[in-house]
Structure 1
Amino acid sequence: MAAQQSQSIQTLLEAEKEAAKVVQQARQYRVQKLKDARSQATKEIEEYKRTKEAQFKASEASHAGSTQAAQAATDQETQVRLKEISDAYYRNKDEVVRKLLDRVVLVKPELHRNLKKEEH
């Protein structure tokens, strides 16, 4: 009977070792699967980044042309307005100077309206 108990204990110990091995293998498998999942997720993220970056560059390139055209149109319009203002200045400067001098030089001295005597 002691031999049978010893045999049973030995069988249980071997089963326990086998179970420990199975648990260890399951843990290693789980760790490996997590590593693989992280690696796959990182690859997918990088691919997504590359795709979005390419879309952004394409969008930026397509809008750059319209931005340059708008800038050129604005620059041209600014030059036209500057020329108009400059022409108006040269056309009217003599007249403005004459009017200013007339106001300053040709003074008609008269009493202020509040100081005029009332005639009774």
Structure 2
Amino acid sequence: MSAQNSQGIQTLLNAEQEAQKIVQKARAYRVQRVKDARAEAQKEIEEYRQKKEEEFKKFEAEHSGINAQAEKDAEKEIEGKLKEIDEAGKKNRAQVIEDLIKAVTTVDPKPHINSKHK
């Protein structure tokens, strides 16, 4: 009977070794699949990033022209306003100088409204 037990034990050991090989192959396969999935995900992420960067550059190029035109329009408007102010200053310069001289030279002493005059 010991030969049968020995043969049975050997069969069990062989089956266990086969099972370990199968488990080891399954683990290696799973590890490889995880690596492949990560590589594929990284590739997709990079493609998506490049796509979005291209979209952003296109958007930026389209709208930078609008901004440049808006800046030019604003500059023209500012120049127009400055000319109006300059012309108004030249037109009223004599009157302003006269009013300033009059205000400085004309003395009209009055007590301050908060002073207590007795």
CA–CA separation in structure 1 for the residues paired with 2:55 and 2:19: 53
Residue in 1 that maps onto 2:16: 16
Matched, 1:105 2:98: no
Q: Name the CA shift for 1:111/1:75 in 2 (closer, same or farther; >3 Å).
A: closer
Which residue does 2:65 correspond to in 1? 65
Residue in structure 2 matched with residue 27 of structure 1 by the alignment: 27
In 2, Cα distance between the equivalents of 1:16 and 1:106? 119
Q: Deviations over 1:57-102 (max 9, x none)?
A: 1111100000000000000100110011011111111111112223
Q: Does 2:31 align with 1:4?
A: no
Q: Give unpaired runs (5+ residues) of structure 2.
A: 112-118
Change in CA separation of 1:95 and 1:15 when aligned onto 2, cut-off 3 Å: same
Larger Rg: 1
Using the size of structure 1 for normalisation, the TM-score is 0.84
The residue number in structure 2 matching 1:118 is none
1:78 is aligned with what amino acid? I
Shift, 1:110, TM fit: 8.6
How far apart are residue 18 of structure 1 and its match? 0.5
Amino acid at match of 2:60: E
Shift of 1:106: 5.1
Task: Classify the secondary structure of the residue corresponding to 1:84.
Answer: helix
For 1:37, the equivalent position in structure 2 comes to 37
Deviation at 1:23, TM superposition (A): 0.5
Query: Which one-letter code corresponds to 1:101 in the other structure?
Result: I
